[in-house]
Amino acid sequence: MIAAMMSKMRPASPLNELGTAFGLTGAALLFLQFLSSGRYETLSGRIGIDRTMGFHRVAAYFLLGFVLLHPLSYSATSFLSNPRAALNHLTGMLLSERLRTGVVAMAGLIVMVALATFRSRPFMRYEYWRVSHGMFAIAVTALALDHLFVVGNYSAEQPLRLLWFFFATVALVAIGLVYIVRPWRMWREDWRVERVRPLGERIWEMMLHGPETTRLRFRAGQFIWMTLAPHRPPFHDHPFSIASSPTDLPRLRLVIREAGDCTSGFGQIEPGTRVAVDGPHGSFVLPKGKEPVIMVAGGVGIAPLLGMLEEAAANADARSFRLLYAARSPSALAGLERLRELQSRLDLSIQCVVEEDVEGSGCSVGPIGHMHVSRSLRGTQSKDVTCLVCGPAVMMEIVTDALLAQGVLADTIHYERFDYAAGKGHIDRARRREALLIFIVLLLGIVAFSLR
């Protein structure tokens, strides 16, 4: 909008300007969505993959709202006085040849947002959805760009023309990085599966071995995007946390739960199978300083925490670690043996919680709740602890809310989700409000632009 105001155009009526502002802001958001897709470490590594994906999701709904309001605002003048004329005007716009690329882009965007909202099996395989999401994004952006240049009055002026050129270049570079440069880099290093062994009920430990000269440098707790042969990047990669210490390189350990099409075949993977490794990603790492460190894992959520404990042991970290580890049954407590070994090298206490107790397991009976969390915090100053939480969505909400209720500060609670769904915990909601604030400011800007 600032770029539009820098042009020599004289403002039209407020409702027309409102329609234009919705369209321009929607287009700018569309370009920026490429950067918040969670694939760019510069952004998601800094603010976290959860925050990045949360923003991407909220932005998608606002973007769609702005795009739908764009044609509606142009017809709004007569909606109250003459609804039929307004409807005719709107239909005329939607059928107009001149506006065709814009209308198709809008329809594509509706389909894209609907698929992203309702994507879940058996409706659609995740891989198919991902490919279609990327293709739709590229097509919708190209059509929107055409629409901007064909009918946009402001876009015909120098400042906006330059801005769109800049945005389009950024989007092109982003697409090139994700679909060409990164897959090529992933395949260049010769990574292989060294071994796969069962670690618990439908949980596998997969050891990868890379070249001695590998360029991979990571902090324990970060994750990689992995593609297993016969597939090749970029469309078949899945994210997995690194469950080993950087000092173990060129070996990487992954702890993987069978979840669906890709992971359910992991037990049959032959040693020597080629893998493509892209990483590191994410910012879920062990913060320096504060202790005790309270770790809470649910099921395979142990993977990044195990990596952090391995790193702490390798660095002779003298802090006190308290691990609260929950799973369905004792046999689903993957990696417990290794955690017990680490106890001899770290000040590490382990509290296990299972839903189906087996006599003699030494575990408390769950589900995990406030009582278990408060036991982990016993004898500590809640304001001084560092907390790291990873596990199923509902468990993380219960745990993070319980930590807050016990006086732990929100900014010392770090967590990572293994899905990109919107969480319902207090911290999730606070983060959503932060994102919403950005869009409220944008909305105020749109109104100010139309009333100028």
Ligand X SMILES: Cc1cc2nc3c(=O)[nH]c(=O)nc-3n(C[C@H](O)[C@H](O)[C@H](O)COP(=O)(O)OP(=O)(O)OC[C@H]3O[C@@H](n4cnc5c(N)ncnc54)[C@H](O)[C@@H]3O)c2cc1C
| Closer residue to ligand X, CB minimum distance, 154 or 223 | 223
* Least distance to ligand X, CB of residue 196, Å: 13
* Least distance to ligand X, CB of residue 417, Å: 7
Helix, coil or strand: residue 450: helix
Residue 159 neighbours by CB distance under 10 Å: 16
Contact 279, 242 (CB under 8 A): yes
| Closer residue to ligand X, CB minimum distance, 154 or 415 | 415
* Least distance to ligand X, CB of residue 49, Å: 5
| Closer residue to ligand X, CB minimum distance, 108 or 282 | 282
Contact 210, 187 (CB under 8 A): no
- Bridge-based pairing of strands 191-200 and 203-209 is antiparallel
Residue of this chain nearest to ligand X (CB atom)? 260
| Closer residue to ligand X, CB minimum distance, 230 or 360 | 230
* Least distance to ligand X, CB of residue 390, Å: 8
* Least distance to ligand X, CB of residue 59, Å: 18
Task: Measure the CA–CA gap between 79 and 171, rounded to whole angstroms.
Answer: 37
The alpha helices in 119-208, defined as continuous H runs, are 126-151, 158-176, 182-188
- From residue 311, give the alpha-carbon distance in Å to each of 34, 118, 243, 293, 301: 33, 39, 10, 14, 17
| Closer residue to ligand X, CB minimum distance, 163 or 276 | 276
Those residues with Cβ within 8 angstroms of residue 65's Cβ, 6 or more apart along the chain or in another chain: none
CA nearest to 24, candidates 116, 100, 93, 102: 102
| Closer residue to ligand X, CB minimum distance, 190 or 419 | 419
Residues of this chain that interact with ligand X (CB under 6 A) are: 49, 121, 126, 223, 238-241, 255-257, 259-263, 282, 300, 303, 416, 418-419
Q: Which helix (H) or strand (E) holds 280?
A: strand 274-281
| Closer residue to ligand X, CB minimum distance, 40 or 79 | 40
Helix, coil or strand: residue 348: strand
* Least distance to ligand X, CB of residue 206, Å: 9
* Least distance to ligand X, CB of residue 372, Å: 22
* Residue 340 one-letter amino acid: R
